[in-house]
Chain A
Amino acid sequence: DTGVSQDPRHKITKRGQNVTFRCDPISEHNRLYWYRQTLGQGPEFLTYFQNEAQLEKSRLLSDRFSAERPKGSFSTLEIQRTEQGDSAMYLCAGKTYNEQFFGPGTRLTVL
């Protein structure tokens, strides 16, 4: 158990709906990362936060995606107007020194 939790673990939605995922790292994780993983591939970086500041966003993060980390604690990732191509596992990770500690992920299925 890494201490990083994600909610929900599974989400099924219809195309065009909005979804929001939550990540709760442990308090020592000053950096928080979001990744996306499709079947058979390694995770791909989406964005990261240093405390509450969003410092970098991947080109994968289209304008339908938005992430926040209010007060530098938990983080949310919202996808607006979901598309079938958004179906994936969404992973978050917290970091203190050298290691990233991953949560179990939220599996999104867009019908």
Chain B
Amino acid sequence: DAKTTQPNSMESNEEEPVHLPCNHSTISGTDYIHWYRQLPSQGPEYVIHGLTSNVNNRMASLAIAEDRKSSTLILHRATLRDAAVYYCILRPDWAGNMLTFGGGTRLMVKP
């Protein structure tokens, strides 16, 4: 399985934008890039996903590099509720769609 590399932790100030990076240099053409987050004491929560083009939804934006070897999750205005572990996951289109989680990035938001 293609792997992802994320920083262990990041800090942000409340109401400022946050850019969470993810490297996936061995990504294959059929791998979708998914982002999930896990708030304390909860199950993971879907954030966004994409294949080649940048994507926006009500929670976040996903910027995908042209060569697809990296991506960035953008939270436009961090709130205290966004403090969580963020997982960048490559999901092959054929693999039963199970998710292979790495260590993720722990985002801390300061008031």
* Residues of chain A having any CB pair with chain B under 8 Å: 2, 4, 31, 33, 35, 41-45, 48, 55-56, 91, 93, 95, 98-105
Contacts and interface: CB of A to CB of B under 8 A. Distances in A.
A48 B91 CA distance: 15
The secondary structure that dominates the A interface is: strand
Interface string B43-59: 11110010000000000
A42 B97 contact: no
Contacts of B32: 98
B103 interface: yes
A42 B43 contact: no
A41 B97 contact: no
A75 to B, nearest CB: 15
Given A41-B103, A42-B103, A55 B44 contact: no
A43 B42 CA distance: 12
A104 B101 CA distance: 17
Contacts of A100: 36, 44, 46, 97, 99
Given A42-B87, A98-B49, A103 B99 contact: no
